[in-house]
Chain A
Amino acid sequence: MYVSVDRQVPADAFLSCWNGASEQTLDAALARPARRCIEAGLLDRSAEIYEGADLSTDKALSLVITTRSAYRHSVVKTYVQALGERLALTEDLRIRVYSAVQEALMNAVLHGNLRIDGGLRGSLDGLIAAQAIIEAKLESPEVGSSMIRLDADWTSSALAITVRDSGDGYDYSGVRPAAEDGMSGRGLEILQVFSDRVTVLNGGTTVRLEFQLCP
């Protein structure tokens, strides 16, 4: 059994714990009726994480994970599947949400928390060089355990998903669209094309994606 309930919080808080082992255990931890799921290593920060949050709504799903797990597991795929069990997502919307949230999450991981130089993505050898840096950072307790947070909330007509990292922020105003055959720079374009609204908050550490739901 992979899912445990933190008995120290009210029973109606619907908090589950993910052991960080696999997509299968994440799928179990995100199963209904969970509304908030925190990776085991971050569980002792749950009060701080959810301070001031509205915990009463059942139209929300929050996931708080380490950078290490965000990089190593297909977190977005599993998270979008869990959303699909709670609200009706058409195939079109599922693709758009999955594509946009994946871009936001990898941006949060690589540039927000790991601070990987985008220039390393310009060649296959650069990517291999980046891998050594990434692995070293993921093994560092401070960086590997730094937090990535996804929060979804919805109504009958709209879905909003917020992706937050623990980095120093990023100036999106300076981002230029990728050249057609450029190796990188498509992430922001993909966020804009696949979501109905993109808002960058908190100095670039937070991206909010909004989607209209079909009636």
Chain B
Amino acid sequence: MQIHMDNAGGPIAMSGEFTFSDHVPFKQMVTEIFAAPGRSVVIDLSKLDFIDSAGLGMLLLARDEAKKNHRELILRRPSGQVKRMFAVTKFNTLFTVEE
């Protein structure tokens, strides 16, 4: 999994496969984005090819971290297998998901 962040406050993008073994860079990303000021955080998933149950669990942990910091986490444009996993696990009801 790759994480693309810019310093201008634009959306964060994830690409590749997001599975359990990506938890170290994901934790680092979460720490960085909630250390910076702002209201909502957008993660662009349009280039993310694959997610497993551990990846879904980590997104929920990031959502909880956002709530603690009075922020909103928005997931943008999941597609393919990721969109299907969101549907199977009813993730659309747990997050703001932008198509």
Chain A contact residues, CB within 8 Å of chain B: 71-72, 74, 77, 95, 98-99, 102-103, 106, 110, 121, 123-125, 127-128, 130-131, 180-184, 186-187, 189-190, 193-194
Q: Which of B27, B81, B94 contacts A181 (CB 8 A)?
A: B94
**CB of B13 within 8 Å of the partner chain:** no
CB-based contact B54/A106 at 8 Å? yes
B17-69 contacts to A, CB under 8 A, are 17, 19-21, 23-24, 26-27, 30, 50, 52-54, 56-58, 60-62, 65
Q: Which of A74, A77, A123, A180 contacts B90 (CB 8 A)?
A: A180
Q: Which of B30, B54, B84 contacts A124 (CB 8 A)?
A: B30
Task: Name the B residues within 8 Å of A182 (CB-CB).
Answer: 60
For A188, give the chain B residue with the smallest CB separation: B53
Tier of interface size on chain B: 20 to 34
Chain B contact residues, CB within 8 Å of chain A: 17, 19-21, 23-24, 26-27, 30, 50, 52-54, 56-58, 60-62, 65, 80-81, 84-85, 88-90, 93-94
CB-based contact B53/A184 at 8 Å? yes
CB-based contact B60/A103 at 8 Å? no
Task: Give the Cβ gap from A104 to chain B, nearest Cβ, in Å.
Answer: 10
CB-based contact A102/B52 at 8 Å? yes
CB-based contact B57/A99 at 8 Å? no
**Complex Cα–Cα for A42 and B62 (A):** 39
Task: Give the Cβ gap from A62 to chain B, nearest Cβ, in Å.
Answer: 23
Task: Name the B residues within 8 Å of A127 (CB-CB).
Answer: 23-24, 27, 58, 61
Q: A183-B61, A190-B53 are in contact. Are A102 and B24 (CB under 8 A)?
A: no
CB-based contact B88/A190 at 8 Å? yes
**Complex Cα–Cα for A106 and B65 (A):** 25
For A102, give the chain B residue with the smallest CB separation: B52
Q: Which of B27, B89, B93 contacts A189 (CB 8 A)?
A: B89
CB-based contact A110/B20 at 8 Å? yes
**Complex Cα–Cα for A77 and B17 (A):** 9
Q: A106-B52, A180-B90, A190-B53 are in contact. Are A131 and B24 (CB under 8 A)?
A: yes
Q: Which of A98, A106, A128, A180 contacts B27 (CB 8 A)?
A: A128
Task: Give the Cβ gap from B2 to chain A, nearest Cβ, in Å.
Answer: 13
Which of A71, A106, A125 gathers the greatest number of chain B CB atoms within 10 Å?
A106
For B27, give the chain A residue with the smallest CB separation: A124
CB-based contact A77/B88 at 8 Å? no
Q: Which of B21, B58, B94 contacts A180 (CB 8 A)?
A: B94
User: 12 A–B contact pairs at CB < 8 A?
Assistant: A99-B52, A99-B81, A99-B85, A102-B19, A102-B50, A106-B19, A124-B62, A125-B27, A180-B93, A183-B57, A183-B60, A189-B88
